[in-house]
Amino acid sequence: MGNLTSGDCYGLEAGSEHQHVRHMGRDSHRDLDTESMRELARLWVQSQSAISAYITANVIDVHHADDLVQEVAQVVAEKFSEYDRARSFTSWALGIARNRLLKYYRSRARDRLVLSEAALARLGEAMERVEHEAEDRRAALRYCLERISGRRREVLDMRYGQNSKITEIAARFGMSPSGVSVMLYRVRAVLFRCVRGQLAKQGT
């Protein structure tokens, strides 16, 4: 299955959420209450990969792409009070990203390496589908992680939640490093089968 990342395994940590909110600009979220800021941070972190991929797929200059992602984050924060919870946040944010890309393209009208508005819309829809599939995988992984308990879960938490070294885990539980590695391999195998089963039930 390959190594798990702490983000995949354990969702969003409060620290990372606040870090992302800070990057979205203080003025833009000054009027948001604490609960709204947390919601914004959680939704943005979940959608940022799709938004970044959407923009970088259409902007050759890496620095311009980074600037555009930050602009989208700024607008998302400014307009968050207008966001309709009945619709997908990723769809809403991708719509903002598409508008920023069109504005960027208009400022570079002589550049031939641009897509039409229709092509941008199709690409945005594709990115949204990918994000939904990723969320399905995250939900399945969270479900499966809840079924790992005892020492196996503690070892998993230390390795992927706290980024502890194998030797540190071995010392903590009185195990050999090879024993820890074998346990982690077996737990990953269990998680892989569980996630695959959950996705199969959902038809994903």
Q: Write out pLDDT tens, residues 40-89.
A: 988 988 888 888 888 887 777 788 888 999 999 999 999 998 999 888 89
Give residue limits of the domains in the chain: 13-131, 147-204
Name the class of domain 13-131: mainly alpha
User: Under CATH, which architecture does the 147-204 domain have?
Assistant: Orthogonal Bundle (1.10)
pLDDT tens digits, 83-100: 998 888 988 998 898 888
Which helix (H) or strand (E) covers residue 13, if one does? none
More confident residue, 7 or 107: 107
- CB-CB neighbours of 4 under 10 Å: 20
